[in-house]
Structure formats: C-alpha cells, structure tokens
Amino acid sequence: MIELSGLELRRAACEALGWSIRVSDQSEIKGDFVAVFDPISKRVGCWCLAIEHASHDLPEIESDPAVSEPMFLEWCEKNKTIWTLKSYSHAPFTCELFSVDLIRKQVSGSTPSEARARAIVAAKSY
C-alpha cells in the first residue's frame, strides 16, 4: 500500500469520516465546479474548478492537532475503537487501533496528527 501524505492523506481521512468533494448540481453554477461537503451534506468552502483545489477546504486533520484530535476522538467513540499513540526518541509516532472484534491496526506518522489521519484511513479496511 502506498502511504498517502499531504492533501491526499487529508482527503482520504476526511472521506473516511463522511466528508466529500462533489461536482456541483446547482443550477446557478455552470460547468464542472466542485465543492466540499461535511458529513451532514452542508457545503463548506468555495466552489472550485478542480478537486485538488477543493481539498484545501477540508479540515486539516493530517497536520493540525487542534483539528485532528477532536475528530479522531469522536471517530473512535462512534466506532467503539480503543487506541494508543506513542513515540520513542527519534522515531515516528505510532498509532494502534483495536476494534470491538479485537482487530488490530498499526500505522506510523511523523506527527501525532499524521498518525491519527493514517489510522482512520487504515481502519476503512476493518
């Protein structure tokens, strides 16, 4: 599996949490514009011409601890997932997830936010 990073990781983690980037179905907008929608289908951010630009409007779950921690904790609670996050000197952060069925996933990231985002993406295969 190729490890995602940056905006690709942000998009994958947010999509796993119910966020989406969709083509406009608004009659007042002509062409293939896309926008970001949160899990309750409320549009956030601006209409963009390209999916790559729309990814900037997603929450910075892969890089901002103030964003990643509450989103991750809410996701863990909703999915009844136990987790650990640890790091040893000069090593990446490791996030382990344990599902209700005792399925274990372990991923690493250079920061706690990146490790949490990768854990959410990895858990899609539970």
Residue 109 located in a structural domain? yes
The mean per-residue pLDDT over the stretch 4-14 comes to: 92
43-48/34-37 β-pairing: antiparallel
Write the DSSP symbol of residue 57: G
- Number of helical H runs and strand E runs in the chain: 4, 6
Task: Supply the pLDDT for residue 102.
Answer: 66
Write the DSSP symbol of residue 56: G
Residue 110 located in a structural domain? yes
Phi (first) and psi of residue 45, to 5 degrees: 80, -170
- CATH no. for residue 80? 3.30.160
**Cβ pair 22, 31 in contact under 8 A:** no
Give the Å distances, CA to CA, from 57 to 38, 61, 74, 102, 122.
Answer: 10, 11, 20, 35, 22
Q: What is the pTM of this model?
A: 0.82
Residue 103 located in a structural domain? yes
Q: Which secondary-structure segment (H or E) carries 107?
A: strand 104-109
Segments forming the whole domain that contains residue 89: 60-126
Write the DSSP symbol of residue 55: G
Residue 112 located in a structural domain? yes
Residue 64 located in a structural domain? yes
Residue 30 located in a structural domain? no
CA distance 96 to 11: 21
pLDDT band at 1 (very low <50, low <70, confident <90, very high): very low
Residue 75 located in a structural domain? yes
Residue 15 located in a structural domain? no
> Looking at the 3D structure of the chain, how many domains does it have?
1
pLDDT tens-place string over residues 60-70:
999 999 999 99
CA distance 77 to 90: 30
